[in-house]
Amino acid sequence: MVCGLFTVLHRASSLSLLALVFSVLMLFPSQTIHAAPAFYIDKLNEVDKKHLEASSACGRNQAPIDPMRSGRSHLKNVTVQTEYPVQAGVGVLLQNINAINEVENSFSVSGYLSVVWCDKSFAVSETPTSKLMYLETSAAKKLESLWRPDLYFVNDTHRHMSENIELDIYNDGTMIYSEKFNVEISAVYDLHDFPFDKQLLKITLQSFSWDASQLVLVSEPLFNGSVSGLSDPEWEVEDIRSDVYIKQDHGERAVFYEYDIEVDVQHRPGYFLLKVILPLFLLVSVSWVVFWTRRFDVRFRLGPLLTVMLTIVAFNFTISSALPKVNYMTFFDKLLSFSFITVYLAVAAILVISIMHNRNWMRPALIMNLHCRWIFPLIYILGISWLVGSTL
């Protein structure tokens, strides 16, 4: 009887514990995020009409997409069986270019990607008068169930981030996909003229699945361009170009269409002029001060020069840490080397003057010391002018 009583109490305590857990869970109800349904818009606004008029994807001379390629199967199960390739318009509106990293040979870019194509399997009218608009997760889910150009960034270093995804399906079969992207792109920089260098930033889009016999890319001028004030604190954007090319990669039999965006940027040298070049010039000028003193003691004269030489070496280490390890000399390398040689020649001149002074050749020592007062500044200024002139 006692055992039965304990069994009843144990079950009662277990039920109480379950009830307590259930009540706690009820205080924090789970939230299930559902994809937003498609929005039906029965009247197109002026922006939609402008986009359709500029792109007119379903009005181009092209074969309609085969039902096997439309919204009937997933992309990996689609087989291309049309006689003519599908034509897709591509446009990129650049919003920001930043993190131009010359050490890691990369840069970051954000903007808006738009792709326009025609899928007649969705057409119910010859002229577009309405559309279905899918946003975010519903757009991504819808894209998985229909044929798409399947574009990707060829020269990205990491998978690009997409947001503000939108898919518009018009009743004439026109499909417009748009997204806001942020991607890091690999690049190869020419640093011969650093920090007065100009660089070419290239962004390449290509279809991952469809070659040139299946997909033709064209540039959409309406969706191309950049926002106002597109620049980086260290770089100035000079020109932006976009075009479509046909390319065959090594090891591939098929050729693909590529959509290329080329951005010309100019390095803003103001930071380096104020933080590096001007202090370096002042340091080197310290080595000329010793020629204006009346003391010919070697230890007195060599002290400032040795300090300047060590400082130039420190400058070299600082600049080298901000640049990749290249096998050629940049403008900064030439400038630092020239400064070091100038100071080294000043040291040699001081030694010669001291030897003359110790041997009581006072007149030649004074004459040489007098000439060094203006020879070294003149040599250094002319050398820097030549370096800058040859760079610019």
Question: In the predicted model, is pLDDT for residue 308 greater than 90?
Answer: no
Q: What is the pLDDT of residues 124-149, one digit of tens each?
A: 777 777 788 888 888 888 888 888 88
Name the residue range of residue 326's domain. 271-391
More confident residue, 65 or 334: 334
Give the position of tokens 């002139």: 389
164 and 263 belong to one structural domain: yes
Closest CA to 234 of 262, 198, 203, 278: 198
Give the position of tokens 């939108």: 166
Strands 131-135 and 39-41: antiparallel
CA distance 263 to 112: 16
The SS3 of residue 42 is: coil
362 and 321 belong to one structural domain: yes
The answer as to whether 141 is a domain residue is yes
Question: In the predicted model, is pLDDT for residue 175 greater than 60?
Answer: yes
Closest CA to 308 of 275, 269, 336, 271: 336
Strand ranges in the chain using DSSP code E only, listed in sequence order: 39-41, 86-101, 106-118, 131-135, 151-153, 161-170, 174-186, 198-207, 215-219, 225-226, 235-247, 256-267
Q: Please, how many CA atoms are within 13 Å of residue 88, restricted to the half-sphere of its CB?
A: 32
345 and 239 belong to one structural domain: no
User: Mean pLDDT over all residues of the chain?
Assistant: 76
297 and 310 belong to one structural domain: yes
In this prediction, residue 201 has a pLDDT band, given cuts at 50, 70 and 90, of very high
The answer to whether the peptide bond before residue 195 is cis (omega within 30 degrees of 0) is yes
Question: In the predicted model, is pLDDT for residue 289 greater than 80?
Answer: yes
Alpha-helical runs (H) found in the chain: 2-27, 46-55, 136-143, 270-272, 278-289, 298-321, 331-358, 362-391
Q: What's the domain count of the chain?
A: 2
CA distance 188 to 202: 10
The answer as to whether 333 is a domain residue is yes
292 and 340 belong to one structural domain: yes
123 and 256 belong to one structural domain: yes
Q: What is the pLDDT of residues 71-82, one digit of tens each?
A: 333 334 444 434
The answer as to whether 16 is a domain residue is no
Closest CA to 319 of 249, 272, 358, 267: 272
Q: 64 to each of 83, 145, 338, how far by Cα in Å? A: 10, 18, 67
170 and 254 belong to one structural domain: yes
The answer as to whether 31 is a domain residue is no
247 and 361 belong to one structural domain: no
pLDDT given for residue 75 in this prediction:
38
User: Rounded to a whole number, what is the largest CA-CA distance in the chain?
Assistant: 128
- Which of 51-60, 90-99, 248-257, 323-332 shows the lowest per-residue confidence on average (mean pLDDT)? 51-60
pLDDT given for residue 230 in this prediction:
65
Question: In the predicted model, is pLDDT for residue 288 greater than 70?
Answer: yes
220 and 311 belong to one structural domain: no
CA distance 342 to 160: 50
DSSP 273: I
pLDDT given for residue 353 in this prediction:
85
